[in-house]
Structure formats: C-alpha cells, structure tokens
Amino acid sequence: MPRHKSAEKRVRQNKKRALRNKAAKTRIKGVTKELHQATDPEQVKKSLVECMSLLDRASKKSLMHRRTVDRTKSRLAKLANKVAAGPKQK
C-alpha cells in the first residue's frame, strides 16, 4: 500500500500504462499470427504492412526494444517473401 499521495498516483498511472501496453502487444501478436496463417500473396502484403507499422510504433513508444523490432520485422519480411514466391517447382 502506498503511503504518499504521489505513490498512489504512480500506482494509478502504472495500471493505465500496463493496460495500454498490453493492448498494443496483443494487437501486434494478432496481426503477426494473421500474417503467419495467410496464404494469399495480397493478404500477406497487407498484413505485412500493418504489422511493420505496429512494430515501428511500438519501438517509437519504447514498448519494445528497437533491435527486437528490427529482428522481428526482418523475420516477417523473410516469411512474406517465401509465401509470395509460392510453392517451389520440381
């Protein structure tokens, strides 16, 4: 239990921020999952753009570390390129 007014305020602020951060991270996870499950190249492209945008915003707001975002974006782009190329011919 906080003993000071400023500590009480800090608890309230932390709760709000935690909810906001959780919502943003959940949205990123949902879009990423959508991208992983997509098979249509157009849908993959659309999901990739949305995912990149969300990741950039998360990085900008220090929700995720910059290098974590860069690594994730790289892996998603690699996956999207693989889907866009289609099945390999034998």
> What domain count does the chain have?
1
For the cut 80, the answer to whether the pLDDT of residue 6 exceeds it is yes
Between CA 57 and CA 14 the distance in angstroms is: 20
Domain that holds residue 31: 10-82
62-87 per-position pLDDT tens digit = 999 999 999 999 999 999 999 888 77
Between CA 36 and CA 72 the distance in angstroms is: 12
CATH number at residue 49: 1.20.58.110
88: confidence class by pLDDT, cuts 50, 70, 90: low
26: confidence class by pLDDT, cuts 50, 70, 90: very high
Residue 54 CB coordination number (10 Å):
21
- Average pLDDT (26-55) is 95
In a domain, 57, yes or no: yes
Per-residue model confidence (pLDDT) at position 89: 57
In a domain, 66, yes or no: yes
Q: Which tokens belong to 43?
A: 């849908």
